[in-house]
Amino acid sequence: MVNLDDISSNLQSGKARETSALITKAIAENYTIDTIVKQGLLAGIRAAEARYGRNEVLVPEIRMARRAMEWGIRRIKQAIAAAGRTALGTVVIGTVEGDIEDRDKNIIAVMMESRGLRVIDLGTSVSPAEFIETAQTEHATIIACSASLVTTMAQMKIVVQEALAAGIRNKVKIILTGAPVTERYCRLIGADMYAHDAVAAADLAQAYCGSITSA
């Protein structure tokens, strides 16, 4: 049996191929995607970043760890695509305009996909207009906005305002997430849901889309 701690340790060491191979084995051994992500990828990248914060590793080493995480996410996405299940609903996700951090957004996207959601990933520094236009074109039920900086959080308010202006506010739920974001800020700008981490974001999206499907 695969030890998920080995996924974490290989990721921390920047061993992308080994990380991906262990994930392949874990999937074959019927570990859930949630378990692999939480105990393998998330545990590994958080430990690597904590070590970086304590100046125990250098910039090239943290970059290698993040690359290993990207390989792991890519492998999980391949497994989800191969399963070929019917989408529970459509989510448009991206990091808000002016913000280029994509770690949290990428993890949220893959966890949402693992729950049966169709995810349209717009990438980083996504304008409010692009969020809204894509939600309209793809008939999305959820817009998920991520921010890693206090200075870019204001873009989330604009997304809410533009959803209202486009006449789709009653058709989509807006989820906010990211390190500086709070439940209070979510309520203040009129968004629908706040997720403190990737697991919470996936749980919220799955529950909402599931409630629509069963209604």
Domain count within the chain:
2
Do 193 and 132 lie in one domain? The reply is yes
Contacts by residues 48-55 (CB-CB < 8 Å, ≥ 24 positions apart): 48/11, 48/12, 51/12
* Same domain, yes or no: 98 and 168: yes
Do 66 and 122 lie in one domain? The reply is no
- CA-nearest of 94, 98, 88 to 132 is 94
Per-residue pLDDT tens over the stretch 175-212: 999 999 999 999 999 999 999 988 899 999 999 998 87
Same domain flag for 112 and 78: no
Alpha-carbon distance of 137 to 55, in angstroms, equals 46
Whole-number percent of the chain with pLDDT over 90: 86
End-to-end CA distance of the chain: 40
For the stretch 108-158, pLDDT in tens is 999 999 889 999 999 999 999 999 999 999 999 999 999 999 999 999 999
In this model, does residue 215 exceed pLDDT 80?
Answer: no
Phi/psi of residue 170, nearest 5 degrees = -85, 0
Same domain membership, residue 108 and residue 37: no
The answer to pTM > 0.75 is: yes
Task: Tally Cβ neighbours within 10 Å of residue 56.
Answer: 10
Model confidence pLDDT, tens digit, residues 36-50: 999 999 999 999 999
DSSP 86: P
- Give the model's pLDDT for residue 81: 85
Question: Residue 177: helix, strand or coil by DSSP?
Answer: strand
Residues 57 and 155 in one domain: no
Say which CATH number the domain at 174 has. Answer: 3.40.50.280
Reported as half-sphere exposure (CB side, CA atoms, 13 A), residue 93 has a value of: 29
Question: Does one domain contain both 152 and 116?
Answer: yes
106 plus 52 within the same structural domain = no
- In the predicted model, what is the mean pLDDT of residues 21-25? 97
Please state the rounded mean pLDDT for residues 89-116. 94
For the chain, how long is the longest CA-to-CA vector? 53
**Both tokens assigned to 87:** 């989408």
107 and 184, same domain (yes or no): yes
The 3-class secondary structure across 46-80, one letter per residue, is HHHHHHHHCCCCCHHHHHHHHHHHHHHHHHHHHHH
| Separation between Cα atoms, residue 103 and residue 112, nearest integer Å | 14
Q: How far apart are CA 70 and CA 105, in angstroms?
A: 12
The domain boundary, picked from 83, 104, 132, lies at 83
Residue 86, pLDDT > 70, answer no
For residues 160 and 1, the model is more confident at 160
Whether residue 190 sits in one domain with residue 205: yes
**Amino acid letter, 108:** I
Q: Sorting pLDDT into bands at 50, 70 and 90, what band is 213? A: low
Q: What is the CATH number of the domain that holds 67?
A: 1.10.1240.10
Name the residue range of residue 94's domain: 90-214
In the numeric block, which tokens belong to residue 116?
Answer: 């049966």
Asked which of 52, 83, 114 is the last residue of a domain, the reply is 83
Would the pLDDT of 4 be above 70?
yes
On whether both 177 and 156 belong to a single domain, the answer is yes
116 and 178 share one domain: yes
Closest CA to 29 of 47, 6, 57, 46: 6
Q: Last residue of some domain: 56, 83, 110?
A: 83
Query: Which residues share a beta bridge with 94?
Result: 145
